[in-house]
Amino acid sequence: MEQRVSFQTKLLHNKWKTDPQTGAVSVPIQHASTFHQFDFDTFGKYDYSRSGNPTREALEETIAALEGGVRGFAFSSGMAAISTAFLLLSKGDHVLVTEDVYGGTYRMITEVLSRFGIEYTFVDMTDLHEVASHIRPNTKVIYVETPSNPLLKVTDIRGIVKLAKANGCLTFLDNTFMTPALQRPLDLGVDVVLHSATKFLAGHSDVVAGLAVVKDEELAKQLYKLQNAFGAVLGVQDAWLVLRGLKTLHVRLKQSSESAFAIARYLASHPKVEEVFYPGLTHHPGHSVQRYQASGFGAVLSFRLADEEAARTFVKHVRIPVFAVSLGAVESILSYPAKMSHAAMPKEERERRGITDGLLRLSVGLEATDDLIADFEQALSHVKETPAVSAR
């Protein structure tokens, strides 16, 4: 498809829209693990499915086009994508990581990479001076998540890229919360975009998958070598399910973001809610940067109730959202970071980062906004009034 079309249309119309042999409008699932070679001397494009598979390739080329990269890579989970990308590093290298990084990435860096002599420092990425002051001569990667999980802190992508380029580092960015529908990091100079495709990209809580996209041919070659050598590739059935999910990405994200905005405003005006974290709210510290570097605010928000008891009461009475880990699905998902995504973190460390016992994270699904707000209204009515100051 040479014509220039909008992102919304590109989700449906790309070189994979019809099968060249049969005209089928849905990509076939190629279960074959190996491929017959027609010529003794010259092998075809596909030989073994770990190295390359037509169904997985359809997904890889699709995500590359959507992110504006030269090549995409599909992995068996978001962590497999992130871990494989980290294999670009060598012993003695140093990586700077956003301090409120996802717990799984935190574990990979502190418990696995550290054993191979890769050094790390966690920094507050919203403070560019802080980032600059921690760059060392052996720093090779700056690893960013924006907006961050669960406090939705916004990092200035261009600012980080400038620092990285000046110091000869690569920038990795986890784009799971935004997806290319709202934020295209490669256009802003990022080198490697990573995704837990389990979330908004696939969107239906029914497939675990990870994706990586790069813009540079040389980097693409290196990452391909690692994908093939390490072998944590995505299965074909799952690749197909992600492709199917992508077709409705635009409409899903549009609906969920609209609802998230309305819910954030509703919660912000509720007396029992102490604080709401959503980059769409004008008082959010990252609001203007977010507006500048992304085309929307996404469908995830967090909010703080008084304490654990308040959170417990709310969760007990809420009827529509499922109470579970994960996000980015057709169903609304309510999470409790203190005991879920950040359970592994010591309490003081967790609270220092703002993840208090009253904090809840909400991934907004496709239910009618009014139904969700009505549900929260009744659940909040069971929460006790905030204790008086004297109670302290």
Partner 1 sequence: MEKVETLLAQIGNRSDTVTGTVNPPVYFSTAYRHAGIGQSTGFDYIRTGNPTRKIVEEAIAKLEGGDQGYAFSSGMAAIQTVLALFESGDEFLVSADLYGGTYRLFERGWRKYGLSFQYVDFRDMQLVENSITEKTKAIFLETPTNPLMQETDIAEVAKLAKKHGLLLIVDNTFYTPVLQRPIEQGADIVIHSATKYLGGHNDVLAGLVVARGEDLCQRLAEYQNAIGAVLSPFDSWLLIRGMKTLALRMRQHEENAKRISEFLAAHEDITDVLYPGRGGMLSFRLREEKWVNRFLQSLRLITFAESLGGVESFITYPATQTHADIPEEIRIANGVCNRLLRFSVGIEHVEDLIADLSQALQKMKEV
Q: Among 80, 142, 161, 329, which residue sits at the site for partner 1 (rule: CB under 8 A)?
A: 329
Distance CA(83)–CA(72), nearest Å, equals: 15
For the CB of residue 328, give the shortest distance to partner 1 in the complex, in Å: 12
- CB nearer to partner 1: give 166 or 368: 368
Query: Per the residue annotation, which of 153, 199, 252, 350 is the catalytic one?
Result: 199
Strands 210-214 and 192-196: antiparallel
Nearer to partner 1, 139 or 198 (CB): 198
Q: 153 catalytic, yes or no? A: no
> Who contacts 387 (Cβ-Cβ below 8 Å, separation ≥6)?
306
Element (H, E) at 165: helix 157-166
Among 50, 134, 158, 244, binds partner 1 (CB under 8 A): 244
Run of H or E residues at 226: helix 217-230
DSSP annotation of 34 reads: B
Reply yes or no on whether 136 is catalytic: no
- The answer to whether residue 377 forms part of the interface with partner 1 (CB under 8 A) is no
Does the active-site annotation cover 174? yes
Tell me if 184 contacts partner 1 by CB under 8 A.
no
Could you tell me if 296 and 257 are in contact, meaning their C-beta atoms sit under 8 angstroms apart?
Answer: yes
Which residue carries 């784009």 as its tokens?
A: 175
Say whether residue 370 binds partner 1 (CB under 8 A).
Answer: yes
Beta-carbon neighbour count of residue 24 at 10 Å?
11
If binding is defined by CB under 8 A, does position 373 make contact with partner 1? no
Residue 199 sits in the site that holds partner 1 (CB under 8 A)? no
What's the closest the beta carbon of residue 249 comes to partner 1, in angstroms? 10
**What's phi and psi for 357, nearest 5 deg?**
-70, -15
Taking CB under 8 A as the rule, does residue 13 contact partner 1?
yes
Identity (one letter) of the amino acid at 337?
A: P
Active site residue 124: no
Shortest CA distance to 192 belongs to which of 209, 159, 169? 169
The single residue among 23, 137, 271, 346 that binds partner 1, judged by CB under 8 A, is 23
Indicate the helix (H) or strand (E) that contains 210: strand 210-214
Out of 56, 71, 93, 102, which one is annotated catalytic? 102
**By rule CB under 8 A, what count of residues binds partner 1?**
38
Please identify which of the residues 10, 19, 46, 50 carries the catalytic annotation.
Answer: 50
Q: Rule CB under 8 A: choose which of 166, 251, 343, 344 binds partner 1.
A: 251
Contact range with partner 1 by CB under 8 A, out of 73-81, 96-104, 118-126, 322-330: 322-330
Indicate which single residue of 15, 18, 37, 165 sits in contact with partner 1 (rule: CB under 8 A): 18
Ranges assigned E (strand) in 118-198 = 119-123, 139-145, 170-174, 192-196
Count Cβ neighbours within 10 Å for each residue of 228-266 and write b for 16 or more, e otherwise: eeeebbbbbebbbbbbebbebbbebbebbbebbbbbbeb
From the list 269, 278, 283, 281, the residue with the least C-alpha distance to 373 is 269
> Site for partner 1 (CB under 8 A): which residue of 50, 134, 158, 204?
204
Residue 255 sits in the site that holds partner 1 (CB under 8 A): yes
Alpha-carbon gap, residue 16 to 28, rounded angstroms: 10
User: Among residues 15, 25, 31, 112, which is the contact residue for partner 1, using CB under 8 A?
Assistant: 25
Q: Would you tell me which residues interact with partner 1 (CB under 8 A)?
A: 1, 3, 5-6, 8-9, 12-13, 17-18, 23, 25-26, 204-206, 244, 247-248, 250-252, 254-255, 320, 322, 324, 329-333, 365-368, 370-371
Catalytic sites, residue numbers: 50, 102, 174, 199
